[in-house]
Structure 1
Amino acid sequence: MTNRRDFLKKAGVVTAAAGASALAAPAVHAQSSPIRWRLQTYAGPALAEFVVKGMVDDFNKAANGQMEIELFFADQLVPTGELFRAMQRGTIDMVQSDDDSIAAPVDISVFGGYFPFGTRYSLDVPVLFEQYGLKEIWEEAYGEVEGVKWLSAGSWDPCNFATKEPINSLADLKGKRIFTFPTAGRFLTRFGIVPVTLPWEDVEVALQTGELDGIAWSGITEDYTVGWADVTNYFLTNNISGAWCGSFFANQEKYDELPDHLKTLLKLAMDSSHYFRQQWYWGGEAKLRVNGDKLKLTTIPEEEWATVEAEAIKFWDEIAATSERTARVVKIFREYNDVMAKAGKPYRYT
């Protein structure tokens, strides 16, 4: 009988403890709920598959239930031009785009996207940021803007023209309605081009209806990937920039709330994304020029194209005059390109 009483007492203690655990379960569950972020990219679904989806999938898997990023495509939640403000408000937690397209309210936004002849090859972008001081300048500039954290910059593809009619000289560009980036479009008006701004998803239809004569948005890899090679006929091998410069950004408050290990994981995922794009674009540009069967290649003679490069240097001077900080960036571009030119092959061939 004594043993039975002892057993019942112990059982009651265990039952009470189990009941307490059951009551506490919702609180424990709430604490373990994953952090959820919404990321919107500049890219449509077909392109996002290569430029950002892998990074999101890998991060979500490695976060092991502690955090989850939900991916949205170009203009899906807000128009691309409103992304910066939406991120400041917390409507979107993270953005992948160039500074120029999202109308970032910083003087250096003109260097995002395609800054004319600032780069020749995709490796130029990470070297400029990691070895020549652009990283610190970007951190400085965005540190002056409330609510947004600049995270990381990387390179994409070069900026070539894909058009419905052949371009064999600068004269052929005059009057052409071209979909391009804000700063690139501002520069290209010097050659008679009419820049056109449209939602990304409307570009293919605009090429079919004649609203656009062509695009200066990407290299040949994207033309094939997103379907633009199906509605244009020619690809101009001359480019106005060797690599698009894009970045990841986040809402400052949401970023500050992340534990350090998730911040580190996010950095590793972004770095992995930058690396993937390096090889995907570099290989794709060459392969499709040689083996692609949809676009006929054309080229403006080097001596004529040199006038475009010379005009770009004047454009740099104009940008440098806008602020002390843009002057510092232009100085870095000059120093870097001077080093590359003096280094010779394979860094620079001309």
Structure 2
Amino acid sequence: MNKQTNTSKLSRRAALGLGAGIGAGLVAAPLAAPALATEQGAVLEWKMVTSWPKNLPGPGITAQRLCDRIGKMSGGRLNVRLFAAGELVPSLGVLDAVGSGTAQIGHSASFFWQGKMPASVFFTAIPFGLLPQEHITWIEQGGGQALWDELYEPFNVKPVMAGNTGVQMGGWFKREINSLEDLKGLTIRMPGLGGEVMRRLGATPVNLAPGDIFPSLQSGVVDATEFLGPWSDRAMGFQKIVKSYYAPGFHEPNGTGEALLNKTAFEGLPEDLQAIVLEACQAENARSLAESDWENAGSLQALQEEDGVTVKFYPQDVLAALKSTSVEVLEEFAAKDDLSGRIHESYRAALKRLAPWSNVSLRHFLAARDGEA
């Protein structure tokens, strides 16, 4: 790195908003256009805030690897320092922190912003919706990215896919689910539209930050929880409290993680660094999905063979009720506002186009491979 005067360092920090509040309660002033970012050889320092405990298997590892990848691909011209949940801002404060300039990049999941923009849930997962590869196809080929950009525009944030934890599990339940009656009065950690489906069937959904789930399950604040898949769930330690692990993850058939880019900081980068950031996100999206599938398979086996966990399945009548209620929730959701309706219609069109191909290419092949055809 070339030596620079204190004045140039301060100018760069001011231009990028790096001198903004370093505590969770402080809000940075809007970022000015980072003029020095266009200087060849200039070294830029970004902050990443995340919703995850540091190095959590799955999204926590993805976030750190994304920081490392950007630094390496840029030849050290753009360095990203990671702040895990609670280190700079709260777990659920990532969107606001990035939009305001407290950090230039964040890593989270879109359904955490449901209270600010209900349609955000579509960009992680919706009940009985798109599988991981189908979701990627919608975002990249079916117009999903443009709608995602439009939704986040008022927050001064550009969202991009940057990680995927794959197909999710249904969750950890302290009591067996044998009928719809067993859902009534159940307090469950389940964000997104899946939580609303559960509510309509008599449960009480709560939205807990990842770091709050284990103590809430342990203390009895919640009777059940979902999180991600076996790899991340085992690392969180849920198997130490509960031994019944339910499938399928009707509420999250996909696990897209998002990189949130402060638009002012991102657009102020030279074109090659912008391309590096986007390509790093795309590369991490593919790598993390492969990693999640591999690690989930091994962790599921370990949960059963080493931890005494029993995998159980929702009864068919419960799944039928969950699906019919999901249709009602989505139809009501689509009527909220024009943008929500357009997102819902685009998502539904993608599902209608892709499902028959997935049925022919995947369902029947898997049945044949397993000797069930």
TM norm. shorter chain > 0.5: yes
CA offsets, 1:273-301, max 9 Å, x none? 10122112223333433443332111123
- Secondary structure of the residue aligned to 1:239 is coil
Aligned-pair distance for 1:257?
A: 1.6
Asked if 2 retains the 8 angstrom alpha-carbon contact of 1:164 and 1:232, the reply is yes
Residue 289 of structure 2 corresponds to 278
Give the whole-Å Cα distance in 2 for the aligned partners of 1:275 and 1:185: 28
Which deviations, in whole Å up to 9, do the C-alpha atoms of 1:225-262 show, x marking residues without a partner?
22222222111012222112332111111112211111
Q: Which has the larger radius of gyration?
A: 1
**Which of 220, 223, 226 is 1:216 aligned to?**
226
Provide the residue aligned with 1:93 in structure 2: 104
**Offset at residue 218 of structure 1 (A):** 1.6
Distance (whole Å) between structure 2 residues aligned to residue 51 and residue 27 of structure 1: 34
Q: Hey, what does 2:165 align to over in structure 1?
A: 156
Per the alignment, residue 330 of structure 1 pairs with 344
* CA deviation after TM superposition for structure 1 residue 29, in Å: 8.2
* Cα deviation, residue 270, structure 1: 0.6
Q: 1:302 to 1:66 in 2, by over 3 A?
A: same
Q: Indicate whether 1:345 and 2:354 are aligned.
A: no
Asked if the contact 1:87–1:250 (Cα under 8 Å) also holds between the matched residues in 2, the reply is: yes
1:134-283 counterparts in 2 under 5 A? 134-143=144-153, 145-152=154-161, 155-157=164-166, 158-240=168-250, 241-283=252-294
Partner of 1:314: 328
Residue identity in the other structure for 2:361: P
Does the Cα contact within 8 Å between 1:153 and 1:246 map onto a contact in 2?
yes
Query: TM-score, length-normalised on structure 2?
Result: 0.78
Q: Quick check: 2:218–2:241 contact (8 Å CA) kept in 1?
A: yes
Aligned length: 325
Contact 2:183–2:198 (CA under 8 A) maintained in structure 1: no
Cα 1:105–1:325 shift into 2, 3 Å: same
Alpha-carbon separation, structure 2, partners of 1:28 and 1:322? 50
Return 5+ residue gaps in structure 1 as ranges.
1-23
Residue matched to 1:16: none
Look up the match of 2:15: none
Distance 1:187 1:244 in 2: 18
Name stretches of at least 5 consecutive residues in structure 2 with no aligned partner: 10-38, 368-373
**C-alpha contact 2:134 2:354 (8 A) present in aligned 1:** no
TM-score, length-scaled by structure 1: 0.83
* Residue 146 of structure 1: how far off its partner (Å): 4.9
d(CA) in 2 for partners of 1:307 and 1:234? Answer: 21
Partner of 1:50: 61
SS of 2:49's partner is strand
What is the aligned partner in structure 1 of residue 26 from structure 2?
none
Distance 1:84 1:103, change over 3 A: farther
Question: Alignment partner for residue 112 of structure 1, among 114, 120, 123?
Answer: 123
Q: Matched residue of 1:218: which SS?
A: coil
Q: Aligned-pair RMSD on alpha carbons?
A: 2.6
Contact 1:100 1:182 in 2 (8 A): yes
Identical pairs, percent: 22
